[in-house]
Structure 1
Amino acid sequence: MIRLDKYLADMDMGTRSEIKKAIRQGMVKVDDVTVKKPELKVDADTQKIAVNGKEVVYRRMEYYMMNKPAGVVSATKDPKEKTVLGLFKGQRRKDLFPVGRLDKDTVGLLLVTNDGELSHRLLAPGKHVDKIYYAKIDGEVNSEDADAFAQGIDIGDEKLTLPARLEILTSGKESEIRLTIQEGRFHQVKRMFEARGKKVIYLRRESMGTLVLDPQLREGEYRPLTEEELKKLC
């Protein structure tokens, strides 16, 4: 059982004070009966809650795949920048957050959820979850770079990066690569290439663990995870 005002606040139907006011004004119905007590306990699994005639479905956990565009930050709030949560439309839980961070100019796979346990399993360094990136590099990437990445790179932190797998797709003045890492340090991919005297000019995350970016999702679009995707992740 959950308080009616908390039920609606969790589903981002307004601030707690706004919701209490709406309930007291008779704008909320429980099982088609108008109620005016914000503290009323309701069963989120069995009872029907509606605000101004529109049903509000309670979801304890939500999981979304987003193809993050450039120009937005991977945060829940930011005083200056537009966040990935600002791309969501319609009803959603207010406690959603992005799992891990992609730089403002980095695009690609981003998992958005309110499942803290799953987030920890995906991000904890000891879990060794593969994260695969496609990148365009200003400079010729060669086998020496691949060998160095496999040994670990000094990017100015206390420890070298964990061994990473660098696949060279094309090599020249501008190279294309695919990189598999198991960490998520600040600007890690960019710093790894900078340590080798090269610059990342485009970066896209393609996968995280078993979750692979849906090629049908355009940048800025998102969708709920399928049951199969969620089952593999969990």
Structure 2
Amino acid sequence: MRLDKYLADMDFGSRKEVKQFIKKGLVSVNGTVVKSDKFQVNENEDNVVFDGEPVVYQKYFYYLLNKPAGVISATIDDYDETVMDLFDDEDYRDDLFPVGRLDKDTEGLLVITNDGALAHRLLSPKRHVEKEYYAQVAGMMTPADVVAFEKGLTIDGGEECLPAKLMIDTVNEVEETSEIRLILHEGKFHQVKRMVQAVGKEVTYLKRIRMGGLSLDETLDYGEHRGLTEAELVLLEQKS
């Protein structure tokens, strides 16, 4: 890998900026100052130092974010705050993006990464990676609804949904409200809300609590993020 790409990948500046740093003699490889941006380095073996700071190469980055309501699942937007606006300068990178999306008013688990292959695997309809949601509902969910979800609902617009697992946690007969959990294997637009609407009720609060085998870290406040461990990366790709 070229030295300028190596340093740019590690966020020491743009390719143009790091070329200038290299020419100024700020970079050494294996103890020798290198002034050629085309110099080839082995990211797994060579010892690269930038202005006295050892550089440890990391190609991919993975974060778990507890998304708050009111923030959109995008990298940039002219009007609304995005999930990437929640990242501080230390962790922010231009190549990071959210894996999939949560509606603006939906909270909970969102994975942020620069690993496009992982994102594709998690979102591919063929892989059926589970997404679990907690919802508060206006209306009383029933055992008949559980059966309907298991069979696969037809939602507005005539869209067919894959079978989903509906779990009714509580039903308040006085207030006519319910608390549910729902496991999906796909990600249609506003799917949870539209499925609940298809059985005559309305979602009033929605939070994603799991993706694959990775559950939301409840110690994270809304808007906070942390890096994923290697063990959690394995869990993330588990289908159930």
Q: Residues 155 and 12 of structure 1: is their aligned pair in 2 closer, same or farther, counting only changes over 3 Å?
A: farther
- The 2-side partners of 1:94 and 1:4 are apart by 19
Name the SS for the 1:126 alignment partner. coil
Counterpart position of 1:204: 207
1:53 is aligned to 52
Q: How far did 1:205 drift?
A: 0.7
Query: Cα gap change, 1:158/1:13 in structure 2, threshold over 3 Å: closer, same or farther?
Result: farther
Aligned partners of 1:67 and 1:220 also within 8 Å: yes
TM-score (norm 1): 0.87
What is the one-letter code of the residue matched to 2:189?
A: F
Q: 1:146 — aligned with what? A: 146
| Alpha-carbon RMSD | 2.2
Match of 1:22 in 2: 21
The residue matched to 1:41 in structure 2 has which SS? Answer: coil
Which deviations, in whole Å up to 9, do the C-alpha atoms of 1:152-180 show, x marking residues without a partner? 22223554111111111122333211011
* C-alpha distance 4-125 of structure 1, shift in aligned 2 (>3 A): same
Q: Which amino acid aligns with 1:176?
A: E
Q: Secondary structure at the match of 1:197?
A: coil
Aligned to 1:127: 127
Aligned equivalent of 1:167? 167
1:215 aligns with 2:214: no
The answer for the alignment partner of 2:186 in structure 1 is 183
Task: Name 2:232's counterpart in structure 1.
Answer: 229
Larger deviation, residues 175-184 vs 57-66: 57-66
* Structure 1 residues 54 and 81: alpha-carbon distance in aligned structure 2, compared to 1, 3 A threshold: farther
What is the correspondence of 1:61-80 to structure 2 with a 5 Å cutoff?
61-80=60-79
Report if aligned partners of 1:65, 1:222 keep a CA contact under 8 Å in 2: yes
Distance 1:150 1:114, change over 3 A: same
Tell me the distance in 1 between the aligned counterparts of 2:86 and 2:56: 20
Q: Structure 1 counterpart of 2:39, which letter?
A: L
Aligned position for 1:84: 83
Indicate if the aligned counterparts of 1:70 and 1:107 stay in contact, CA closer than 8 A: yes
Instruction: Give the TM-score of the pair, scaled to structure 2.
Output: 0.85
Aligned to 1:43: 42
Deviations 1:50-86 (A, max 9, x none): 4343333211222222212222222223333332223
CA gap 1:212/1:105 in 2 versus in 1, 3 angstroms: same
Q: What is the deviation of 1:184?
A: 0.7
Instruction: Indicate yes or no: 2:113 matched with 1:113.
Output: yes
Do the aligned partners of residues 101 and 166 (structure 1) sit closer, same or farther apart at CA in structure 2, a change above 3 Å counting?
same
1:147 to 1:70, Cα distance in 2 relative to 1, 3 A: same
Q: Which residue of 2 aligns with 1:103?
A: 103
The 8 Å contact of residues 11 and 92 in structure 1, kept in 2 or not, is answered as: no
User: Contact 1:62/1:93 (CA < 8 Å) preserved in 2?
Assistant: no
| CA separation of 1:81 and 1:57: change in aligned 2, threshold 3 A | farther
Change (3 A) 1:44 1:139: same
Once the two structures are TM-superposed, the CA of residue 218 in structure 1 deviates from its matched residue by 1.9
Q: Which amino acid aligns with 1:185?
A: K
Percentage identity across aligned positions?
Answer: 52
In structure 1, stretches of 5+ residues that fail to align are none
